[in-house]
Each structure stands twice: as C-alpha cells, then as structure tokens.
Structure 1
Amino acid sequence: MPFYVYAQDRPGAGSELLDLAEAHWAYMDRFADRLILRGPTLSDDGEEHTGSVHVIDLDERADAERFATEEPYWRAGLYRRFTAVRTSVLLDRGPAEGPLALVTGEWPPGPRAADMAAGDGTDGRVGYLGVLVDDEGARTTGIVAVVRAAPDEALRVVRPLADGMAAGPAALTARRWHRGGRR
C-alpha cells in the first residue's frame, strides 16, 4: 500500500544535505522499485531545499516510519519532523516539464475513500493526485497533488477538487517542488 512520507528540513541544513547526498541516494536506490513519487520541496525562490517528498509502496505504517527514520538525512538530524500517511493514488501521469508545485491538505476523516476517483474533470496540469486516507483506508484525511504551475496557481487548480473531497473548505498549502531521483 502506498504511503505519503514528507520530511521537513531543519533550518540551515542546506550544506549538510549536500554533504550526505550520496548516502541519501544510495538509501533511495534500495527502494527504487517501490517509489511512486519523489523529490524535494523548495523555497519560494527555488533556491533552497526545504523538505523531501516520497510516495512509496510498503506493507504497513511501521515500514513507512522505518523508511523515514532510517534515511541518512533523518539520522543526521537534518530533518525536524516527518509525516507518514497511507495514500490512495488516483492519478499518476509521470514526469512533467515546467514549473511544478506540490499541493497538500489535511482534514478530519471525511468521505469514504472508496468513493474517490480522478475523473475526466481533472485539470490537465495535475500530474499526480493522491488522497490521504486513515489507517484502515476507509476515510479520506487529505490530499497530495503535483501540478504543473507556480504554487499560487496550483492552489487554484486543486482547490475545487480538495473542497469536494473534504466536503467543505480544505486547508491547503502549496510549495515549489521538482521530481527527484538519481540523475
């Protein structure tokens, strides 16, 4: 089952991240066949790494938490916190060109996850869409989307979809992002 794993950088971790980049890549190589989505979040100007996003297919929550806490950046204290949430992938169009934004949102357990589907009405700029679900996979608890747009525009693209999933206004955030992986 897929899990959305987001690790937020500790302030000032930039140069230390570079020092451990090869250890990070080697660790990620071990999971290459299970990584659905991966890449860093960036500052508004795109110059600084602010966190790491992974959607990874693992057996259970404990495996997702172990994936996060055994990661070299975490072990070195370069992340200040991580999130690991079960996810249902609704859409994955693969790599996209141009500026990308990661839009996330959370809400109290809401509509049944089984009722969610990405239909023809999904904006063509949405390259990845996942609904965050509770541990049983029964109720939605949030959203994660990658949109080919700047963060402000990405929020406008995802807002109607998220509000519909949340059955009301969803609290959303958007940040610059780019698809990761060994180059």
Structure 2
Amino acid sequence: MDYFFYGRDRDGAGELRMRLVEEHWAFMDRFAAGMIARGPTLTGDLEGATGSVHIVDLPDAEAARVFAFEEPNQLAGVYRQVLVRRFVDLLGRTMWDFPGERDQRAGRYLILAHARPLTDWPGAGRAEPALDRDRLIAFGRLLSEDGEDWEGAAVIGEFADPEEVRGRFAATGVYDRIEVHPWTFGGRR
C-alpha cells in the first residue's frame, strides 16, 4: 500500500533539522526499497526547508504510523504537524524515473489539493486535471488512512506557472483548498 506523508516544520526548526539530517537519512534508508518520492518543501527563496514529503509503499497502516511518528524529525519536534494519507499512484513511476534533471531546484512544486466533502469518492477519478506526464515527478489521489474516503490529490512536478496548475485543480470544483509549495528532490547528496 502506498502512503503519502507531509511533515510541516515548526517555525525556527531549521537548525534542529540540519543537526538531524544524518539520523533522518539513516531512518529513511530502512524504507528505500519502497520509496516512490521524497524531498523537502522549501521557503520562497529556496534556501530553507518548510517540511518533508515522502511517498512510500508500506505493508499496512501500522507500518505507516511507525514511518510517520518514529521518524527522527518528528520525535525531536521539527514537525508541527504530520499529514498521513493513503496514496493512489496515478503516474506509475518513482522520482528516480523522472525524465528531467535532478539537480535543478527552481520550478519544482508540491501541489496539495484538499477535497470538498463528497459522498461518492470513486467519482474523484474525474477530478484530476490533465497534466503533462513528462513534467510530473509524482501524482496521485489522497485517501483516508483506511482507504475508505477520498480526501484530495497530490502532485509533485516541474511547472513554469504553478498558479496555472492550481487553477486547473480549482476549475474542477471539487477541492476546498489548494496549497502550492516549492519542492526539491530529497535524500543523500
């Protein structure tokens, strides 16, 4: 089962995050075989982190809780909130299969589209706008942890105009709130 995690940093957590980087990477190494995408969201100037995104294949909800809440940044207080959702992969590849360059930081974004309350989530399949697959790093539907409720969509990609992508999601009429965050590839450098 694939899961999406987004740990949002506390204000002023940058120094603590930097001290824990090796511990964080060592923890993530345990999950390398199932990793679909990973990387930090960034400040507007791309100089500091605002959070961490991980999309990973795990055996069950208990393993997802361990991944989310025993991660070193979470245990040390770097994150103010951790979002955990089941992830339905609409792209079918990992970030390592992305055809673009890995070392370019500018122009990459995480877009989180939070669903309006709906009674029939299978209809959400019509809710994702058409996007250029060659520009996508990860793309999927977000479900509740038990997989019962549709809760939105997440896309990581290279976008010249992320506000245009936000507009595409908004035009579907099924999203309550749409977040746009600068993002970059994560992992050992």
Same fold (TM over 0.5): yes
User: The TM-score by the shorter chain falls in which range?
Assistant: 0.7 to 0.9
Structure 1 spans left out of the alignment, 5+ residues: none
Offset at residue 173 of structure 1 (A):
0.7
- Given the alignment of the two structures, is residue 175 of structure 1 paired with residue 181 of structure 2, yes or no? yes
Does the 8 A contact of 1:40 with 1:53 survive in 2? yes
- Given the alignment of the two structures, is residue 127 of structure 1 paired with residue 133 of structure 2, yes or no? no
In the TM superposition, structure 1's runs of 4+ consecutive aligned residues that sit over 6 Å from their partners are 117-120
Does the 8 A contact of 1:91 with 1:118 survive in 2? no
Offset at residue 16 of structure 1 (A):
1.5
Match of 1:104 in 2: 112
Question: Which secondary structure state, in structure 1, belongs to the residue aligned with residue 186 of structure 2?
Answer: coil
Distance 1:45-1:86 versus aligned 2 partners, 3 A rule? same
Superposition RMSD on alpha carbons, in Å? 2.5
Distance (Å, rounded) in 1 between the aligned partners of 2:115 and 2:188: 33
Question: Which secondary structure state, in structure 2, belongs to the residue aligned with residue 116 of structure 1?
Answer: helix
Q: What TM-score does the superposition give when structure 2 sets the normalisation length?
A: 0.82
Offset at residue 92 of structure 1 (A):
4.8
Structure 2 spans left out of the alignment, 5+ residues: none
Give the 5 Å matches for 1:1-183: 1-92=1-92, 94=95, 95=98, 96-97=100-101, 98=104, 99-110=107-118, 111-113=120-122, 116=125, 121-124=130-133, 125-149=135-159, 153-161=161-169, 163-164=171-172, 167-183=173-189
Offset at residue 102 of structure 1 (A):
0.5
How many pairs align? 179
Q: What TM-score does the superposition give when structure 1 sets the normalisation length?
A: 0.85
Distance (Å, rounded) in 2 between the aligned partners of 1:104 and 1:119: 12
- 2:65 is matched by which residue type in structure 1? E
